[in-house]
Amino acid sequence: MRIIFMGTPAYAVPTLEALAAAGHEIVAVYSQPPRPAGRRGLDVLPSPVHAAAERLGIPVFTPKSLKGEAEQQAFDALEADAAVVVAYGLLLPKAILDAPRLGAWNGHASLLPRWRGAAPIQRAIMAGDNETGVMIMKMDEGLDTGPVALTQTVAIATDMTTGELHDRLSEITAQLMTKAMQRLEADELPVTPQAETDVSYAAKIKKAETRVDFNRPAQDVHNHVRGLAPTPGAWFELDVGDRAERVKLLATEIVATSPSGPSSAIVPGTVVDDRLLVACSEGAVWLLSLQKAGGKQLAVDEFLRGTSIAPGTMIG
């Protein structure tokens, strides 16, 4: 088929590559505009999907919006059979959704209607969900409200990070979307309306919520950390001399989950021993992997060789 592919981050690249390898004609790729990169923001880099499209020799368009009549006419002129959307990042007006002959199809990384919105992978882990998945849906004007065609579920292991789940779901999205387009071409892709109960929304991660709160139970702290790993990363502050230093926390282990554990009579945020066991409101977590600003990620033993943190120290 003639397909317009719309995506931006690395998550979407396997789907673009899989559709091209399956023999579809990718007539154009739409991606968000190149953005400043590097420490000083002096480099302007294309998105991962943009770069992949150039490697494949596919024309790339990077409009800031698709609301204008000129952009909509240009999109319609491509005469696509279908649009495939994976983590594009821009709202699609009705004129765009209606332009492809067989509609626009989205690969979404959750089990809809749970976690509609921008950050479904992070939110599923942060909430302690035991499973998630990928759904291929036909897009409508709502926020991830369209009818569903294909679904594949994935178990979330107790220590799985967002980075690990991201990579797994990215590959599944590529496989499932390729199957969906094959069935769509054969007119064998029925859809089922989503349930309108148990709806939840995956809001974009804000900087203000990335700080670790040891006043929460150990299980919540553990989910928070792994849900933000490796990026943007959860963090806490540690007093070093006369200043507070920010430390990114990338992995933890729950040592106790009940109030009767090692932290039961200790103020949350207190370092309990010489290996960075930290008290929570219920139970305690062992800090396994840490990173100072401008430094590299270190296992706890290596981190403590360069930074002395005595039992009784308060962090948070």
Binding residues for (6S)-5,6,7,8-tetrahydrofolate: 110-113
Who contacts 79 (Cβ-Cβ below 8 Å, separation ≥6)?
A: 2, 27, 101
DSSP-assigned beta bridge partners for residue 287: 252
Nearest to 13 by CA among 46, 47, 49: 49
Contact 215, 281 (CB under 8 A): yes
Binding-site residue set: 110-113
Give the β-pairing of 284-292 and 243-256: antiparallel
**Placement of tokens 């702290």 in the chain:** 221
Q: Using CA atoms, how far apart are residues 62 and 65, in angstroms rounded to an integer?
A: 9
Nearest to 7 by CA among 104, 124, 138, 101: 104
